[in-house]
Amino acid sequence: MIDFNFNKIAPKCAEFGAVLDSERIERLNLYGNLLLSWNEKMNLTAITDPEEVLYKHFYDCILFLKHIKLNNGDSLVDVGTGAGFPGMVLKIMRPDIKVTLLDSLNKRLVFLNDVIEKSGLDGVETVHMRAEDAGKSPLHREKYDIACARAVAALPALAEYCLPLVKKGGSFVAMKGASANEEAVAAANAARLLGGEKPTIICETLTGNESRAFIITKKISQTPTKYPRKPSDISKQPL
């Protein structure tokens, strides 16, 4: 079993109140080992070096907690969760929140269900559904305090997939890279039409001078019922 050396990042995480105790480290190590094991059978991540997994997956996702306030019992949906980043990491770090891992590809959710079962986590579920269908479903529309997504689509399109899932007073958080400023400008109109404020940006630097930006859009009014549109319309005619 690989040891991902979480003690390397523990002091940095502790600076913003993210405590890597023995239980969290055990679960994260298990998650990392399952990720690399399953990755031999299916494409979950191109990052397979343990140190890169530590910084570019785990630390990257834990940084979410530095800038986004999560209250006890908050509900979070990770849209296009893929291998579970950031939703599964956030659940391990904050067992008190309720997490929904949403993805259109079921085999990824089979992997995540294995992680959930072997980690003994409660209050986390996987949902096999396209984001635009979830945005129309009474089970998911405007039901979440936070909707987040990590590098899923261009921000105007991503806002249309995510903001319909967020309650009034909640937030949509997109994790982006170097193009964050341009994307935030491009998505300002989409945010307004979907019931959000103008997006704000918080930047961090990861290893190797890679940039990580958290683009945060607060939901201030209900999303009009015509959104989200069909995927073809979202991609061809961004808001």
Give the model's pLDDT for residue 215: 96
Give the model's pLDDT for residue 103: 97
Give the model's pLDDT for residue 102: 98
What span, in angstroms and rounded, lies between the C-alpha atoms of 217 and 103?
21
What span, in angstroms and rounded, lies between the C-alpha atoms of 87 and 49?
21
Give the model's pLDDT for residue 152: 74
What span, in angstroms and rounded, lies between the C-alpha atoms of 12 and 6?
11
First to last CA, the chain: 47
**pLDDT less than 70: residues of the chain:** none
3-state helix, strand, coil in the chain (%, to 5): 45, 20, 35
Cβ-based neighbours of 140, under 8 Å, separated by 6 or more? 77, 100, 102, 127, 129, 134, 165
Structural domains for the chain? 73-236 (3.40.50.150)
Give the model's pLDDT for residue 176: 94
Which residue bears the tokens 């209900």?
222
Cα 49 from chain centroid (whole Å):
22
Q: Are 157 and 183 in contact (CB under 8 A)?
A: no
- Calculate helix-pair angle for 106-119, 22-39, nearest 10 degrees: 150
Residue 227 token pair: 């959104």
Give the model's pLDDT for residue 217: 97
Nearest to 145 by CA among 71, 226, 53, 48: 71
Q: What is the DSSP string of 48-106?
A: -SHHHIIIIIIIHHHTHHHHS---TT-EEEEET-TTTTTHHHHHHH-TTSEEEEEES-H
Give the model's pLDDT for residue 207: 72
What does residue 129 show for φ and ψ, rounded to 5 degrees? -165, 150
Nearest to 157 by CA among 137, 136, 174: 174
Which residue type sits at 234?
A: I
What span, in angstroms and rounded, lies between the C-alpha atoms of 86 and 120?
18
Burial class (CB in 10 A: 0-12, 13-18, 19+), 97: buried
Which residue bears the tokens 């979410």?
64
